[in-house]
Amino acid sequence: MEGKRILRVETRRKDLRFPFPENFNQRIEGAKLTRMGRRAKYLVGELSTGEALIMHLGMTGRFTVSGARHGKFHHAAGEDEKHDHVVFEMQGGARVVFNDARRFGFMDLWTSEALQTYPPFAEMGPEPISNEFSGAYLVEAFKGKKTPVKSALLDQSVVAGLGNIYVCEALFRSGISPVKLAGAIRKDRLETLSVEVRKVIEEAIVAGGSSISDFRQSDGELGYFQHSFQVYDREGEACVVCAKPVKRLVQSGRSTFYCASCQRA
Partner DNA sequence: GCTTGGACCTGATTGC
Partner DNA sequence: TGCAATCAGGTCCAAG
Site residues for DNA per CB under 7 A: 17, 40-42, 56, 58-60, 82-83, 101-104, 119-120, 145-148, 151, 154-156, 163-165, 209-215, 223, 252-255
Q: Check if the beta carbon of residue 43 is closer than 8 Å to that of residue 62.
A: no
CB-wise, 69 or 143, nearer to DNA? 143
CB-wise, 16 or 94, nearer to DNA? 16
- Minimum distance, C-beta of residue 106 to DNA, in the bound complex (Å): 9
Q: Check if the beta carbon of residue 162 is closer than 8 Å to that of residue 151.
A: no
Q: Check if the beta carbon of residue 13 is closer than 8 Å to that of residue 85.
A: yes
CB-wise, 42 or 258, nearer to DNA? 42
Q: Check if the beta carbon of residue 168 is closer than 8 Å to that of residue 189.
A: no
Measured between alpha carbons, how far is 208 from 218 in angstroms, rounded to an integer? 9
- Minimum distance, C-beta of residue 89 to DNA, in the bound complex (Å): 25
- Minimum distance, C-beta of residue 194 to DNA, in the bound complex (Å): 19
Phi-psi region of 3 (alpha: psi -120 to 50; beta: other; left: phi over 0): left
- Minimum distance, C-beta of residue 258 to DNA, in the bound complex (Å): 13
- Minimum distance, C-beta of residue 207 to DNA, in the bound complex (Å): 12
CB-wise, 3 or 12, nearer to DNA? 12
CB-wise, 156 or 261, nearer to DNA? 156
Task: Determine what percent of the chain falls in helix, strand and coil, rounding each to the nearest 5.
Answer: 25, 25, 50
CB-wise, 151 or 192, nearer to DNA? 151
Phi-psi region of 213 (alpha: psi -120 to 50; beta: other; left: phi over 0): alpha
Phi, psi of 12 (to 5 degrees): -90, 0
Residues 6+ apart with CB under 8 A from 243: none
- Minimum distance, C-beta of residue 63 to DNA, in the bound complex (Å): 14
